[in-house]
Structure 1
Amino acid sequence: MSRKNIVEMSTKIPPGMTDWLDSIVLGCVTVADREYCENFKRYHRIFGNREDEGDYELVAPDSEKRVSFPPLNQAERPFFYAYDCFFTKLGITIPFTEFETEILWNCNLAPTQLHPNSWAFMKIFQLLCQELGVRPSLCLFLYLFVLTKVGTAKKKASWISFRATQGRKVFSIFNDSFHDFKNFYFKVRAVDEVHPFFLDKNKEPTFPLWWQENPVVLKYSLESLDKVERAFVGVLEEHWGEPPHLDTKKFLGDPTLLRSELEMASGSDSMKVLRKTKKTVAAQNLQRKTSGEGSSQVPPKKLGSGPQGPRKNIPTPQVRVAPTDPPLASSGAASSPSSAGPSPKRQRTSGAYDLNDKNFDGVAFAEEHIAPYGYVPTDDVSIRKHLDFISSTSVRMANLSAALSRKFKKSPVNTTSASLENAKTKLERAEGLRLELEAKNIGLELSLEKEKARATEAEAVANLARENYIQTYGELLRVKKKLQSSYYDYAELQEHIANGMTALYENLKAQVRVLAPHADLSLFSMNNIVEDGKIVPAPNEDETSAPNPKAKTSGAPSAETTRPEADPDVEILNGPDGVVGTVPISVIPTVPQDAAMGAKLDPL
């Protein structure tokens, strides 16, 4: 069956509804018929327990009836409309919980007037309260959420939603595009001779059965909450106050995931504060019970003359002191809004129980000494979960007991004692080793500190040596540069001296040619020396032997000392045997005048 919206305007709209209600709401026609309702009841979980299945029926409305219409026939049995997504997607069951009834009554809303996403907020809120052992309350929910703006003169009213109060967003929205529910609604009413849960003992509705023109917007501050509720808010803010927020759709689909999430967060500071606060408040309530003062929290009362008529009194937030003890009656069955419930039974004083007494009252003992320390929901769905938990836990405990019994039978008592003594000895030995290791650790820490000091000192010395090395290396570079400059100057000086000597030598040869034009100057060389009055080649350095210091020096002059000084009256001549001699100039033949005139003399 297609789930698209079917809009058809009816001609039998109750008077005045078109003035404040949007035409889309007035035009949504249901697709539910008799067969649809029968199959829906057969194949979907609608009721909290099976005993209620026969007390209520799902009825397809007439084709001209709309989800917002009140009953046109006053003789018709009381009913209210419900969307099928309440049961298929959100896990809501009939009868509504006390909390759900309280929200609808105080906000003056019919069940279908509230958007399914808001029902999802209510459901996940109750689930979280149940897992944390906190009683879901109107003021706690309306501290976290606030109703959106209802219809105005410019924009008529349609489905109303709860949104997170500014700065207090904790839960993510169930479905961002929840639009396929508007044509899938039906009536829920009790069968004959059954008192419906949505009527009190005076047969007055416990919540509005059809759409109301004036929903009530309530706001509560943190000061309106009691100690346990403030600690509960602390848990929400610590774990989901910042994105990512608590995943409403995920945890409604599988509540065990929420339980696992809370178990992982059980060690947080806010969780510890919540547990401590619950114990403190429970002890205070127990003390008040014992002294006969009763509980300090007043149960909420509904105000006004009824959801159908105008509300003359609007409930206002009030500061409450401490939470009451968990209600003894089931929260699944709605009680009268004006009744405060039965007075708590006076418990016996502590110490009046004997565990060895065969008539020991375990229930009374649990109510007095255990129940005050935690709230246990007792609606029909929770009771079923509790029974399943008890059954599975009992089976596991039986298996564990059998395993321990088998193990104990195999281990005699004296063996167990010996094992304990052995374990004690090992523990003492381990303690001694621990102390020894601690002493060694202290010694190693001292050695490490010394090594660190040495390393620091060595690092300082290394830095100083590095600085000295850099300075010395710089000096060496400067000296090297100077040496290279001196080397270049020395080479240039050598070249200059060699060039000067060569020029001097050539000048001397030119002068000799002038003085002795016919002289053989082939032996005139700087590589020759005069030895024993003769010109001979100079010996190589490796051929000359080192002089013997013991040899007697002759009085003959050396070649250098015997070289005749220049005499202006003689001319140097080469003999036929290669010996250069000197002859007087007067005996040398004269050169002809024309030859002398043609000769070009080298300047001196």
Structure 2
Amino acid sequence: MARTVSRASVNPAAYDQYAWVVSDIRDSPNQMGEEELTEFRQAGYLCGGTDEEANYDAFVPAAHERLYEINFQPRQVADWIWFYKAMFTQVGVRIPFSAFQMALLNRISVSPSQLHPNSWASIRCFEMVCEYLDLPVSVDVFLFFFTLTNPTKEGKHRKGFMSFRAAQGRKIFGLFEDSYHGFKDKYFKVRPAKDRHPFWLSLEGVRLIPTYWSFGAGANSFIKVVYKNMSAVDQQIAEVLNAVFGKNTVNPHLLMGDRESGRNYILDMSASVTGLPDLFQTFLGGGDEEEDNEQPAAETSTAPPEDKTTSGPEGAVGGSGISTQTAQVEVDKAVHSSPPREVVGQGGSTSAPDDDVEVVIPTPKRKRKESSSPEGVLTVMERNFDASNFIDTQLIPGTEEYFHESSLAGQARWMYRTLLRGAVIARKAEFELSGMESLRRRLEASGKANNELKGEVETLRQQLTQSSEKLDAAEKKATTAEQKTIAAEQKLTAAEKKQKESDATIERLVEREMALEGQVGAAQKRVAEVEEEKRAVEVELSTWKAKYKDVVKQGRGAILATEEALKAQVKIIAPEFDTSAIGVRKVIHDGKVVDASMK
């Protein structure tokens, strides 16, 4: 057994890189200890106790690590893949995954640990049902019946566990658990053992499935599958599953318990719908050796005709589904042919025998069963299955060589699936035919009612004519009203246009008014300054006037004094001279001394 390592150490992120994860998962630290993980490995839950156990090591995460955390340092820390305990212990998942599981996870872009346990139960049920009914396991058929959802209450910007819910009107499985609790806090890491290659990587190192949680989980435009876009084989598989389990859904607990009980449970449900309880045993039950050599459909993958059967992630992963590789069923030791290859959509298994090897198709001996027919007549289902004679008598002319070159097991499988689909159709037809008489009576009653309705129809036709006339008048009124409405709308548009122009004009005037108010304010300020300057000038002028009066007065005094001095001098010189003619206010005019005019 591979070793169980203590605790992995990864430093917590420096910032919140997981804001998109819902709060209840962020608040769920791991409660699974080293002792519990060791018991888990010893019980063989991881790989089913097979030799694969030695290929993988399991780790208990560090205390700060959570189920959704991603390895952002792959060069320093070895990559791992997350798993939670419940998907192995309660649902029965094992690694390495089947080719169908790998293809489905790749298609929906969801890591195994981000898928809810109920969804893993749906995947397991689908694989087991297809195996027990010997139907190819197809991703397209599964996604036709199921829709991937993100059932969180914290909005579309948060992601939690992704879930598959039944598509509307196409529910074939019940819930594994109505309310699932106690699985979120027990999880662990898995890495490949030294020098071992993990199933989730290709040989080139490319991831075949997501190994870490992602906000983009389920964001794939190819997840939604509609019936008309499915292949013909997938459509037939979907019809069979819907007919068998559409009205009576599968109970996962009854199916996923004991393998033999689960197989009988599915076959009984199929028989209750098709009416063919021994269909599988009649056409495929060749004995214990044949059943032991048959490989389950859910655990195989598609391979080219020249390749050997392979399993695991290296099997083909297609966009439209996974077809199963049916193991060679040795009906008789005398059958010499190459291993058959089942091809989805080709009507069964075909083989390519070597050119130099003779193909011998024997008639297997089978015990005749008692007839269930009331007349004692054996039906095709109840006869001994003489494959070679049946094929020779029922073949379309010209196709013998193709069937003679095919293995008996492949032909038996093709006929089994064809009759299973035919039985479903016939079962539906029985119900329809049983109601024909009732339909005939209803048709007669409908004929009578039809005659009575003819008169009502004529009356209604007349009323319809009157209503048409009233409708025409109403349409005319409506047209007139519409024209008036258009005219009113045009006027309203013109008024709105004028209103906009008026608003623009008012806006410009307001701006101009504000500018003028600014200019007036500046002018008023300038006037105040001028008034102040005027008052200063007036004060200065008054001062100058006072000085001027003093100067004038002093000048007049000086003139008069000069005049008196002059007169005194004249008196001395010429005492008899009349000095009255001498004065500062005297002027000579026309040779005479006269007084100057005073202005």
TM range (shorter): 0.3 to 0.5
Tell me the TM-score normalized by structure 2. 0.46
Question: Whose radius of gyration is greater, 1 or 2?
Answer: 1
